[in-house]
Amino acid sequence: MSALLETRSVSKFYGAFRALDDVSIALNAGELVSVVGPNGAGKTTLVNLLTGLIAPTSGDVLFKGKSIAGVGPVQLADHGVARTFQLIQIFPQLTVSETIAAAVVSRQRKRWHLFSALSADRESSARVREVAKIFSLGHRLDTAAAILSQGEKKLLDVASAFALDPQVILLDEPTSGVSTADKHGIMKTLVEAGKAAGVQGILLVEHDMDLVAAYSDRIIALSEGQVLANLPTADFFADPQLIEAVIGKRRGH
């Protein structure tokens, strides 16, 4: 069975700087895979390649065996891959309902010719309420995003991506800025929401190793633009030198 999302011998250079060098990774159906590494390891570059924001210098990015290198996030969403939007940073005045609706409408626009405007509006409203409920935001539909708690803002951010009906979702530090007490609650909600929404695979970029340990099926560690390890979670955390390589360098920054 082919991978859902993968890179094959991907490299990305910025002039003489090597951000990624010959990186091959894969996300398979049913997996939550975490990407970890110290600052400067290449995590953000990898996510940007996987979501089509940038094209690789060499190598390829594939979704279900089809090249998606450099296609951009809008076209990528049509394929079935979404990453968190952080729309609330761009449009903080929008309500929870309006923020989710922006994603729902973009997803449904191509189907609207099959419906009257009224039917399309009803379908969109129902989907907004459904997504909000999955993320425990059903009681906040009319609340402006700007006045949500930090944890609720994170949930709304991810809910907008889920509203695109993706098969794969990329979560880039979804609990950053959230209190330690709330982090596990948010991750639990995200994982359960993914299953409820039919998401087939989740790629998580996360620096909180407690969350990585608790929710990952497999861990990919990057260091200086290369894959340092690609291991089941238990095997990764059984290697003290590997953990030190990932965490120790980060603490040294």
What is the pTM for the complete model shown?
A: 0.87
Q: In which band, very low, low, confident or very high, does the pLDDT at 45 lie, cut at 50, 70 and 90? A: very high
Query: Is pLDDT larger for residue 242 or for residue 114?
Result: 242
Q: How far from 218 is each of 136, 196, 230, CA to CA, in Å?
A: 27, 21, 7
CA angle 103, 3, 244 (to 5 degrees): 90
- Which homologous superfamily is 81-165 in? P-loop containing nucleotide triphosphate hydrolases (3.40.50.300)
* Pairing mode, strands 66-67 and 81-83: unpaired
Q: Give me 1's structure tokens.
A: 């069975």
* Pairing mode, strands 168-172 and 201-205: parallel
Q: Which pLDDT does position 194 carry in this prediction?
A: 86
Q: Minimum mean pLDDT among 29-33, 102-106, 119-123: which range? A: 119-123
Query: Is pLDDT larger for residue 31 or for residue 90?
Result: 31
Please indicate whether the domains covering 1-72+169-188+200-253 and 81-165 agree at the CATH topology level.
yes
Span 150-159, pLDDT tens digits: 889 989 988 9
Q: Give me 98's structure tokens.
A: 């309006």
Helix (H) or strand (E) holding 32: strand 32-36
**Domain spans of the chain?**
1-72+169-188+200-253, 81-165
Q: In which band, very low, low, confident or very high, does the pLDDT at 201 lie, cut at 50, 70 and 90? A: very high
Q: Which pLDDT does position 251 carry in this prediction?
A: 38
Q: Which pLDDT does position 121 carry in this prediction?
A: 75
Q: Which pLDDT does position 115 carry in this prediction?
A: 46
Asked whether the predicted pLDDT for residue 190 surpasses 70, the reply is: yes
**Average pLDDT estimate for 181-207:** 89
- Class of CATH domain 1-72+169-188+200-253: alpha beta
Asked whether the predicted pLDDT for residue 46 surpasses 80, the reply is: yes
**Average pLDDT estimate for 107-125:** 60
Asked whether the predicted pLDDT for residue 7 surpasses 50, the reply is: yes
